[in-house]
Amino acid sequence: MKGAIWRRRLTFVLVVVLLTWAAAGPTAAQAKIFEPETFTLDNGLQVVVITNRRAPIVTHMLWYKVGAADEPAGRSGIAHFLEHLMFKGTEALGPGEFSQIIARNGGRENAFTSYDYTGYYQTVASDRLEIVMKHEADRMTNLKLTDELVLPEREVVLEERRSGVDREPSSQLSEALRAALFLNHPYRLPVIGWEDEIHALTKDDAVTFYRRWYAPNNAVLIVAGDVSTDEVRRLAETYYGPIPAREIPLRQRPQEPPQLAARRVVLENPRVRQPSITIRYLAPSYNAGQSEHAYALQVLDQILGGGPTSRLYRALVVDQAVAAGAGSGYGASSLDLSIFSVYASPRPGVEIEQVEAAVRKEIARIVDDGVTEDEVAIAKKRLQAEAVYARDQLGAGPRILGTALVTGQTVEDIENWPERIEAVSLEQVNAAAKAVLASDKRSVTGLLLPEPTS
């Protein structure tokens, strides 16, 4: 299903994991990751080529610099809704015909929407790249919508929300936590949209959003696989080149005011089988806030909650045996502020209050006492171990580079990422921990609990 919530989560996890690629030593740290080539068409379309000859296939991925955080007030979900509607045909192709062409040629395709971007991708045999590029360029500018197409698809999105959010307590809690953490920024809104606002979305809303944001000078095309830069340039100039640039509005988003109070959200639901606690802290990204902490926060994330050797897992699951699972999460690639999360689930028979106390004790310990040189070194190697095969994965390069380029980074930022992680020091990790985790005022705590029986 186009626009499914699980796909956005998978995309986020993939990008976070693959961006955390560190080197084993000084020589490896200086190696590049994907070695892409890039050029820009006269109409402003940025094109990136990652040549990978391991198999005769190619991934074509088109990213637009617009997402759920760019939606007009009262129209939450329009970016995701438009993603669905992009499969409804153009003047040249009928509804669903592009997808049928991809399938007939042995390919696969899908799309995704996040807060900062929307993307469309196809993977086909390398000799079918021209077919893909021709039709993706067509729907960049020639989308044809009618009420007969739009209104039934709106019902599809509503059902996606019902099945993916309204019937899933963990998704409901996640929405509530975002709404509480971000006081003013549109990151507080769900990507899929609020139900009442989805109900109100119209064909005109979709067309207006499409005409405002979908243009070559607001997009990045990434082609990876068994191709050459010369071939991609020829095809891009043939199919995307004739599309005129359009004036694109500035991405003017409301920003966060000072946050002065910790918040707490408790969701009780009879469907909950596994209680949990989640603490989310407002954190800098590569592009916003105290961005000098972004690389150190990635190392801190590994030390605090990155797997079975992390502090949280060892303390709560192994040593104290109060939790069934525990960890943390952080992504630096947001256009605006990001989130540093800590989470845990109690073992059967253990009260959630006991787990929360144990989580907070580990957070306080890392803030007050800091980490060690050995932990920093091991974390860097662990980051490398998680994504050492990034170059071999056809979809990794387009996703990593695409996320970076549509959120304010450059190709050089990604290619130099291993060196920047290698340069993170003990002092920087400790400073990042104090900057983000020392105060609860910029945090929200969420408890997911079974509904009381009495």
> What's the distance, CA 84 to chain centroid?
18
Strand partners, 121: 61, 110
pLDDT above 70: residue 29 = no
Q: Is the pTM of this model over 0.85?
A: yes
Domains defined for the chain, CATH in brackets? 5-239 (3.30.830.10), 263-450 (3.30.830.10)
Mean pLDDT value across the chain: 92
% the chain with pLDDT above 70? 91
> Is residue 192 within 8 Å of residue 15, measured between CB atoms?
no
Candidate list 37, 71, 83, 148, residue with the active-site label: 83
The pLDDT-based confidence of 175 (bands split at 50, 70, 90) is very high
Strand segments (E) across 160-260:
219-225
Distance CA 137, CA 219 (A): 11
What pLDDT is recorded for position 393? 77
> Is residue 5 within 8 Å of residue 165, measured between CB atoms?
yes
> Per residue in 40-84, pLDDT tens?
999 999 999 999 998 999 999 999 999 999 999 999 999 999 999
Neighbours of 211 (CB within 10 A): 12
Distance CA 330, CA 297 (A): 7
The pLDDT-based confidence of 386 (bands split at 50, 70, 90) is low
Look at the chain and count its residues: 454
Distance CA 140, CA 135 (A): 9
> Is residue 14 within 8 Å of residue 197, measured between CB atoms?
no
For this structure, is 83 an active site residue?
yes
Q: Specify the residue for token string 């909650």.
A: 305
Distance CA 207, CA 121 (A): 21
Burial of residue 176 (CB within 10 Å: 0-12, 13-18, 19+) is middle
pLDDT above 50: residue 28 = no
* DSSP per-residue string spanning 238-264: HHTTTSPP--------PPPPPP-S-EE
> Per residue in 87-143, pLDDT tens?
999 999 999 999 999 999 999 999 999 999 999 999 999 999 999 999 999 999 999
Higher pLDDT, 131 or 394: 131
The pLDDT-based confidence of 33 (bands split at 50, 70, 90) is confident
pLDDT above 90: residue 13 = no
> Per residue in 194-237, pLDDT tens?
999 999 999 999 999 999 999 999 999 999 999 999 999 999 99
Helix residue spans in 109-146 (DSSP H): 129-141
What pLDDT is recorded for position 270? 94
